[in-house]
Amino acid sequence: MITLENISKSYSGNKALRNISLTIPGNSVTGILGPNGAGKSTLIKIITGFEFPDSGKVYIENLPVTNFKQRKNHISYLPEKLSIYPEYFVMEFLNFYHSAIESENGELLEILSLKKIFSKKIKHLSKGWYQRLKLYVALCSTKPIIVLDEPFEGFDPLQMRDIARLFKSEKAEKHLFLLSIHQLSYAEKICDYFVFLNEGKLVAEGSFERLSRRFSAASNNLEEIFVKVLEK
């Protein structure tokens, strides 16, 4: 569980986050949604410790965290832009990575089809394949909180179906997943809790069922709820 208490952040006088208070439930797949400039990336950076708020506090499992080291013990973070050893072959990199973490996730290798690119150099991968490799690295973490910033570029519908199943399985076992995501159709399949930001403010949060009831009984998909949330 992550709790934010009165979080505010400004850059050169421009308010990126405005007094955000919220509790992100443990054992969930939570999506942070909102238009461009809503404050999603800033919120993630504050949760992961790459930025610090101008005011407010962050708690993990009801314990205050005040520095990067404390967050590092709890959180695995996959930023949108991450550079992985470009001169390595994929198999070479994964062998090195598996030796470092002392484990391998064969099921995840299959779901992401990574064996197809074992003989390629990382610098020659397409954006989609590179994204799959990064996602594998993040999801192999044993830390209780996994934070992913726009992780699903380049995935086809069948892979997203398998990824959705994997997330729900992993969630049930040991993780809180926190995703910044703009593909609403993917978010609807994967997430079971949603946080909506707009202009740096928290405008809505809750499960799909709760949000659907709140914003209209006719809201039967996340895109419709998204529009109604931003119009309120």
Between the two ends of the chain, the Cα-to-Cα distance in Å is 28
pLDDT of residue 171: 64
pLDDT of residue 175: 82
pLDDT of residue 23: 93
pTM here?
A: 0.85
Query: To which H or E segment does residue 194 belong?
Result: strand 193-198
Domain boundaries, the chain: 2-81+143-231
Q: What is the CATH number of domain 2-81+143-231?
A: 3.40.50.300
Reduced to 3 states (helix: H, G, I; strand: E, B; else coil), residue 202 is strand
DSSP line for 5-19: EEEEEEETTEEEEEE
**Could you read off the pLDDT tens digit of each residue along the chain, which spans 232 residues?**
899 999 999 999 899 999 999 999 888 899 999 998 899 989 999 998 888 999 999 998 888 887 777 777 888 888 766 677 888 899 998 998 888 776 788 888 888 888 999 999 999 988 888 888 888 888 888 888 999 888 887 777 877 887 787 777 766 567 899 998 888 888 988 898 999 999 999 999 999 988 888 877 556 788 888 888 887 6
- Give the CA count within 13 Å in the CB-facing half-sphere of 44: 25
Contact predicate 195/30, CB 8 Å: yes
